[in-house]
Amino acid sequence: MRQRNLRFTAIFGLCAFFVLPAAAAPERPGLLDFLFPSLSGSQPDPSAGDARAAANRWVGEDPAKPMQKIEQIRPGDTLATVLDRNGVPAPEAAQALQSLVQLYNPRSLQVGQPVVLLYRDNEFAGLSLRASIERDVATRRDKTGAFQAEAADRPLTRNIVRAEGMIGTSLFRSGMAAGVPPDIMQQLIKIFSYDVDFQRDIQPGDSFEAAYEELRDDEGNLARTEPLLYGALTLSGRTLSLYRFDTTDGSSDYYTHEGASVRKALLRTPIDGARLTSRFGMRNHPILGYTRMHRGVDFGAASGTPIEAAGDGTVEFVGINTGYGKYIRLKHTDIYETAYGHMSRFAAGLHVGSHVKQGEVIGYVGMTGLATGPHLHYEVLVQKKQVNPISVKFPTGHQLAGTDLKRFAAAETALDSQLAALPAPAPAVASAGLPHLGTVEN
């Protein structure tokens, strides 16, 4: 669905499928062996069913091996009540749990979650449980009788996932319809917000593509997704492609095929999940009732929505500014300034002279001053004169050179080969009736 010479990016040395290395094995039996008897030499009675789904059952009949009892968390249970129910003396239970909380928050327990209790010579010797898809935790009595906690990372398989689709009424919803996780779509929208006016530039027939990594356990359960590796938008027949890359100084960013950072000196839209409600130019003022110049753009959003600094800069003004209400003006260079009006409140600690970074939250959407509803009034000033933030051409960011540029080209080529080996994803189009599924709406 796209025409490109994909030199797919990302972190150097990546491969399409691999298993993360397991933690070094301790001298005593491994934590995974301890967690479930199906993973250890002590096997449960086959007639008793699956040990992972069992509740309140003893397993392991070899007297030379420790006995394990699998409990399932019931409504209202805590680890303390589970131990008390199984006759563990209160002082021993307290010592075991005190060691375990260093690695695990007991409030994370879920109803139905299995907990394995370990006994040696009919005495309580410890417990273990699955803290998350990615990690198991346990506490066990050592030779001195004290309880020691430990954690083990579970092996995860890393896959590259491709998704693409036609853009319907919303890029975000179209991505959701194609099965792309919300956080990945938010990243995609964020990196293209420097160059794309999502209210005006997207037309019927336009499309998107995204590629990212996901990590799954041996049962296929999703542990997490990694940041977006590649994104592309095809708008009115022209494809814009961006690639994630790590430079030698350890920073990560998204770059064009030529190695130019997508990051511009200023953001066109310093707020996520907003809609453009009023453009730059002459308009009839909704409160004053007469036509006058609107010297910025308005983004409608819910009260309290964070507002970000459009670029690195210094606070020139923060306070009440007549019709603008609560207002901030930032100086970015000797040429560029930005201004933000109608805020409900400012970020804590902000004052004249404060230094801010691009993307840093400086305030929150409100309707102070002359406003009929909550929104951000955003202005860009070039040599003290307001210009249209949507159409002005901002200075570009970092350009790769030297060793980084060579590494970038090599990484693209390597990932291009991996992507070509993957099956083509099924295109998807978001239906007009798809419900809102996330915080980003473009």
Are 229 and 285 contained in the same domain? Answer: no
pLDDT at 97 (0 to 100): 92
- Summary mean pLDDT of the chain: 78
**Local confidence band at 342 (pLDDT 50, 70, 90 cut-offs):** very high
pLDDT at 412 (0 to 100): 84
- Give the rounded percent of residues in the chain with a pLDDT score beyond 70: 76
Are 147 and 161 contained in the same domain? Answer: no
**Local confidence band at 244 (pLDDT 50, 70, 90 cut-offs):** very high
In a domain, 197, yes or no: yes
pLDDT at 6 over 70: no
Are 118 and 221 contained in the same domain? Answer: no
Regarding beta strands 355-356 and 336-346, do their DSSP bridges make them parallel or antiparallel, or are they unpaired?
A: unpaired
pLDDT at 153 over 60: yes
Are 142 and 38 contained in the same domain? Answer: yes
What's the Cα-to-Cα distance from 29 to each of 60, 79, 90, 244, 275, rounded to whole Å? Answer: 15, 23, 26, 41, 57
Query: What's the structural domain count of the chain?
Result: 3
The predicted model gives 16-30 an average pLDDT of 35
What element of type H or E holds 147?
strand 147-153
End of a domain among 137, 153, 169? 153
In a domain, 441, yes or no: no
Are 90 and 129 contained in the same domain? Answer: yes
Are 60 and 207 contained in the same domain? Answer: no
In a domain, 76, yes or no: yes
Nearest to 441 by CA among 265, 263, 347, 305: 305
In a domain, 361, yes or no: yes
The predicted model gives 151-178 an average pLDDT of 87
Are 113 and 201 contained in the same domain? Answer: no
pLDDT at 145 over 70: yes
Q: What's 43's domain CATH number?
A: 3.10.450.350
Q: Could you list the residue range(s) of the whole structural domain that residue 183 is in?
A: 157-264+400-429
pLDDT at 135 (0 to 100): 87
* 172-210 CB burial, b ≥16 within 10 A, e <16: bbbbbbbebbebbbbbbbbbbbbbbbbbebbeeebbbbb
**β-bridge mates for residue 377, sequence order:** 298, 341
pTM here? 0.58
Cα–Cα distance for residue pair 378/389, rounded to 1 Å = 8
The predicted model gives 187-198 an average pLDDT of 84
